[in-house]
Structure 1
Amino acid sequence: MARIFVSVGSNVDRERHIALALKLLRAHFGELQLSSVYESASVGFEGDPFFNLVVAFETDAEPRRIVTALHEIERRCGRARDGNQLGPRTMDLDLLLAGDRVMRDQNIVLPREEIGSQAFVLCPLAEIAGERRHPVSGETLAAMWARLEGDAGELRKVNIHSGTEARS
């Protein structure tokens, strides 16, 4: 069994879509470890802010099967894969890490490249797996976050159940 890490993001009816995605992820993969939820600005397009978090779970499924399941969950959350990668999303699920697996093909890159450059991915990932080492660089995720944190821009930790926020 491999430890799998998936980023979860939404900027359309965020709380509802994240709750639905978590329910569907649990139904498919079982028990989930959840990071805190963070709010961040849209990247690459003008749009409403995103809520982002990272979930972790154990599975023996191959990365392609995991990605297929993630796409089905996105679809069930109302996402249309219309080729526009930069725009509003009801749900965006990305496979970040699959154990220590390293792979690159037309549909899957592991570890996902955004881990080292996007605060909305690395911050919640380091929160739940800070001592885990990046499969390529060997650096801990906590050390990677410490290096990126100063240039991370605005991230706010959000309690989506009560609407209270804490700055991060």
Structure 2
Amino acid sequence: MKTAYLGLGSNLGDRQANLADAVRRLANERVNVTRTSSIWETEPRDVLDQPWFLNQVVEVETDLFPRQLFQHIQRIEREMGRVKRTPKGPRLIDLDILLYGNAVVKSPELEIPHPRMTERRFVLAPLAELAPDLRHPVLKRTIRELLEEVAGQGAKKSD
């Protein structure tokens, strides 16, 4: 079994219910959700004219290979009704593999570690709740250290 960390985000509909539904759908006979972070509210980036996001990170134990896990989360996005219209635009649900053990994967459709995770407080803050001393497999720096570099970005724990 490998430990993986997944990022979840939603800014359409009942955002909190969308996150909870995604966490429920993640769990199956090959994926065990072991821990969930707090939910964080985050201002949009890149495309600013859209609702704020709720974000969360979940830790899973899985025997799926990275590509299989990627297919699993894409299927969940489709089942929940995600339609990819505008890059970085509004979304009912967004699921990303942030880390998968110490794996480094680079292909046209999948990159692990997630290529932009180190730039995003809304990823690093909830990830630091679960694994502050975990080292990024490429940068060799802890999540806590990476979080300190994005301290000024707008993200706060949701009530």
* TM-score, normalised by the number of residues in structure 2: 0.93
CA distance in 1, matches of 2:132, 2:45: 24
Instruction: Find 1:148's aligned residue among 147, 150, 155.
Output: 150
Poorly superposed stretches of 4+, deviation over 2 Å? none
- Number of paired residues? 156
Q: Deviations over 1:89-134 (max 9, x none)?
A: 0000000000000111101111112221011111111111111000
Aligned to 1:80: 83
CA distance in 2, matches of 1:142, 1:76: 34
Q: Deviations over 1:27-72 (max 9, x none)?
A: 3622331011000011111100000000011112111100100011
Task: Give the RMSD, CA atoms, in angstroms.
Answer: 1.3
CA distance in 2, matches of 1:129, 1:142: 8
Give 5+ residue unaligned stretches, structure 1.
Answer: 159-164
Aligned to 2:24: 23
Aligned to 1:55: 58
The Cα of 1:81 is off from its aligned counterpart by 3.0
In the alignment, is the contact (CA less than 8 A) between 1:33 and 1:55 conserved in 2?
Answer: yes
Give 5+ residue unaligned stretches, structure 2.
Answer: none
In the alignment, is the contact (CA less than 8 A) between 1:9 and 1:91 conserved in 2?
Answer: yes
What percent of counterpart residues are identical? 32
CA distance in 1, matches of 2:40, 2:126: 8
CA distance in 2, matches of 1:30, 1:2: 10
Report the secondary structure of 2:28's partner residue: helix
* Structure 2 letter corresponding to 1:9: G
In the alignment, is the contact (CA less than 8 A) between 1:39 and 1:50 conserved in 2?
Answer: yes
Aligned to 1:161: none
* Structure 1 letter corresponding to 2:157: K
CA distance in 2, matches of 1:92, 1:123: 17
CA distance in 2, matches of 1:34, 1:127: 9
* Structure 1 letter corresponding to 2:50: G
* TM-score, normalised by the number of residues in structure 1: 0.88
